[in-house]
Chains A and B, each alone.
Chain A
Amino acid sequence: MQRALAYGAFTAVIAFLLGYFGETWMGWVLFYIGLSVHLAMHYRNFSRLERWSHKPVLDASLEGDGEWDAVFRRLYRHEKELLEKIEHRERDIARLIAAVHAMNDGIVLLDGEFRIQFCNKTAERQLDIDSSTDRGAAIANIVRQPRFIDYLGKGDFTRPLVLRLDRYFERVLSLYLIAYAEDHWLLQVKDITQTDRLDSMRRDFVANVSHELRTPLTVLSGFVETLQEIELDADSRRHYLQLMGEQSQRMQSIVQDLLTLSSIESAPPPEDQPVDMASLVDKLYRDAVALSAGRHDIRLDSDGQGDLLGAESELVSALANLVANAVRYTPAGGTITLIWKISAEGAEFAVQDTGIGIDPKHIPRLTERFYRVDRGRSRDAGGTGLGLAIVKHSLNRHQATLEITSKPGEGSRFATRFPASRVTGL
């Protein structure tokens, strides 16, 4: 600023001196020319600024003369800071959006009329929203479940809405509608399929346990009443007492199995001790022969070597269970084969029978507690409905898998596979 003023004053002084000592008109001409040059310089810089202001981008070539240069430099710096700030903000926003997309819960932002404004990836998957086409569309157009529309209509969002969707596969979603900012809504979608399934499993389990225990209990108390009220001869008495004994035995074995199951579940991992499989398989074979009492043709196909690392008692109970099942569900005259093989991938113990077989739809559920293909038959055979659940748990603890293949009417094969890391003593 001072320099511009100094230039003006300097021109005026020179012109005054020239006018005073020389011709007056020469002084005026000089003054005029001096100011014009000054004005032209300002005009040039002003037009640069004017041009730039139409499209204010960060331009390093924006340079001025004299005093103007300082102004341009400050503008340049200001613009640069602004751009950096904007970039910073944009990065922040992008990161926030990425975080919202990465959430496990679905998030849909709605305006006051419940139109979709934003929707994260999870919500797209859960509700089949397509962000590219559905932005601005009413959410009721996309999620058309009558219950959801009622929920939106009622306007009471204090409780979440639990919605069952069966598109592609069954899902249970819990939807919360939360008001935010002014007249905007945030729809939070939680996938509770798993919890819902666990809940129903727990309910089923309690119902099953009660049912399983109540049945023998009803029989028991019936007999107790009969014995109290009616005079019976010694033979009937003995017969009744024997039936009562069977029922209480049954209850005991159910409770025993439940305890076993819960102790396996909560116990620390088994201590690894080498278990001599040759003698174990041999013992299983002898047990099978004894249990079958000559009704079946029992064969042994063992390569007789190798030890398994694990807890012997758990392994024996799991494998014996499979063998006992085969004997139980194979009609007289059938063949049962016990197979023990070791390969590079690991070891396999399998029980193959020519029994009644299992319908494929039951196979995935066989290891569920109290799941029975045929209630009556299983109970007649003395099963508690917990055997395979225990087997599966014990095997899991040894990183082993249980593979069931079966054809109704032709027989079943229960194969347990142990990883190579558990095989020693070769």
Chain B
Amino acid sequence: MPDSLHVSSQFDEDLARLRTHVLQMGGLVETQISSAIDAYSTGEVASVKSIIETDRKVNDLEKAIDDDCAHIIAKRQPTASDLRLVLGISKIVTDLERAGDEAKKIAKGVRRIYEAGHMPTQYGVGIRHLAEAALTMVRQALDAFARLDGKLALSVIRADEDVDVEFKSIIRQLITHMMEDPRTITTSIDIISISRAIERIGDHAKNISEQVVFVVEGRDIRHDKEAIK
């Protein structure tokens, strides 16, 4: 029937548009994170404002995508892999939005530190490295989603462990600093909250990748240490 062909290709188009919207949102979040890192190392507080403004766009996109997902489920009643895609997307956008919020947190922390007249760059190398690892995770998670590449998604999930280890070593280092010189406590606490936010971004990237594996392979690997090996 030519008619049903038309309907299903319309459906395909709807799904493709939905994916593109998710990736567009992902692009915004990537930019938020990378400008937050730049703000940290260059001290250009001006970009903080644009990071916060981008957050509004991210929130709008999240709502719009959620709405689209509900519409598709109600109107098209997708099954099998199409259903997994829609379900996966509705979870991915939540994680993306949270990752964007963490980027906002980093930006605000950076502004606090610089406005207080301190320089966070003395811990810069470690934090920058941590942030770049987390940003790479987000990027690869989105790449995996764009290409529906389960293998890449699994490698992102494994990378999360490295980020966690690095985060812990930064915290240890900061604690030593605070004990040696109590004057650094204010700045150190801000830096701790920044690195905590970075570590959370890594966690969100991991969650996104888990959803990608779910979409591609149909297995739920959340909280399953064996599945990612």
Question: A residues bordering B, Cβ < 8 Å?
Answer: 128, 130, 133-134, 137-138, 140-142, 144-146, 149, 166-167
Contact = CB atoms under 8 A, between A and B. Distances in A.
Contacts of B73: none
A86 B79 CA distance: 45
B147 A134 contact: yes
Nearest to A153: B24
Contacts, number: 37
Interface stretch (B26-34, B82-90, B187-195, B209-217): B26-34
Given A137-B146, A149-B27, 14 more contacts: A133-B147, A137-B147, A138-B16, A138-B20, A140-B24, A141-B19, A142-B146, A144-B23, A144-B27, A144-B30, A145-B27, A145-B31, A146-B27, A146-B28
A141 B23 contact: yes
Nearest to B57: A146
Question: Which 7 pairs show the lowest CB-CB distances between chains A and B?
Answer: A144-B27, A141-B146, A141-B23, A133-B147, A146-B28, A138-B20, A146-B27
A130 B147 CA distance: 9
A144 B142 contact: yes
Nearest to B29: A144
A67 B143 CA distance: 66
B123 to A, nearest CB: 15
A141 B143 CA distance: 8
A291 B146 CA distance: 66
Contacts of A149: 24, 27
Contacts of B20: 138, 140-141
Nearest to B26: A144
A44 to B, nearest CB: 46
Nearest to A115: B16
Interface string B134-167: 0000010011001101000000000000000000
Contacts of A134: 146-147
Contacts of A130: 147
A142 B16 CA distance: 13
A145 B24 CA distance: 8
A149 B21 CA distance: 11
A130 B149 CA distance: 12
Contacts of A144: 23-24, 26-27, 30, 142
B14 to A, nearest CB: 14
